[in-house]
Amino acid sequence: MNLEQLRGFTTIAEVGHFTRAAEELHLAQPSLSRQIASLEQDLGSELFHRARGNISLTAAGEALLPLARRMLADEENVRLEMAELAGLRKGRVRLGAPPTLCVSLVAEVFGVFHRRYPGIELHLSEAGSKNLLDELDGGQLDLALIVTSEHAVAQKNLESLPLLTEELVVIDSSNNPRLLGKESIDLKSLSQLPQIVFSQSYDLRASTMDAYRSRNLVPNVVLEGGEMDAVLRFVEVGLGVAIVPATVLVDRPGLTAVALQNPRLTRTIGLAHRKDVSLTRAAAAMQEIILHTASQLASRQSRITSLQVSG
């Protein structure tokens, strides 16, 4: 078994076709077929069900796929680590983050990192915390920002550094406010205002709806299924209010916020990585910038609390 065989196997699994996989790998199809046949012989199991126009994984193939992806990711990390020995002039960092953090913490981190290390490629995976942990476990990410209060790190080869705790607040338009003069609002009063809610894929959507259900309340939804950038803009133009994490308020003069009371909702953010693989120098530099930027955000916004241990 070698890495070329595993690369061929994973590509076929992803595209579902031998010919298209061969084209993607710049191989002749007979060469790719021989690679897979040799791999199956070495493992003593068939990896694909082969039917005309339909390629699917066998049970053995399903078991091999995450392992193969991890091995290929580790091989790529070794190559990048060697390139980085020149002094972080080359390399790549793959960061995962929920959409709610991409418009705040991640944007600031990437700005600092790119100015400091312009030769390093940045790759961002934007998804919910559960999917990000799966990608990290599979070797597809170097680091992942996750909502640890919603998704604990269950994988044995992963661990998470605590970053910050932030309040969930109610945002309103600065130019067309509905909450003028208020410093806080309870969930019952909020349920009577026009509200914009996020798409089903957001952890934030689930936690806020759970809070409504626990008090037998139903929000007055005027728009459902928004993504973070759109929701913020809709609030700015006065379409409604929304519940968001405090981090998104940094440097947004078009928005005002009031505290949410009864209940007070918070969430905790952590930075996850694999314990069984050392961070590349580029990923370690990214981690350092994330830790520093998270601490800076907490110092600029009273509704954010840093969880980092000083010293």
* pLDDT tens digits, one per residue of 130-141: 999 999 998 899
In a domain, 91, yes or no: yes
Q: Measuring CA to CA, how many Å separate 248 from each of 92, 100, 242, 303?
A: 27, 7, 12, 11
- Residues 254, 174: one domain? yes
Q: Is the pLDDT of residue 311 over 60?
A: no
Burial pattern 180-201, b for ≥16 Cβ within 10 A else e, equals: eeeeebebeebeebebbbbeee
Predicted pLDDT of residue 180: 86
Would residue 273 count as lying in a domain?
yes
What mean pLDDT is predicted for residues 255-275? 92
Residues 272 and 235 in one domain: no
Read off the pLDDT band of 153 (50, 70, 90).
confident
pLDDT of residue 271: 96
**pLDDT tens figures, 217-260:** 999 999 988 888 899 999 999 999 999 999 888 778 889 999 99
Residue 125, domain CATH: 3.40.190.10
Q: Based on the fold, state whether residues 144 and 173 are members of the same structural domain.
A: no
Q: How many residues does the chain have?
A: 311
Give residue 111's pLDDT.
93
The verdict on 255 and 275 lying in the same domain is: no
Range 57-84 average pLDDT: 83
Query: What confidence category does residue 299 fall into, taking pLDDT thresholds of 50, 70 and 90?
Result: confident
* Predicted pLDDT at 92: 87
pLDDT interval class at 187 (50, 70, 90) = very high
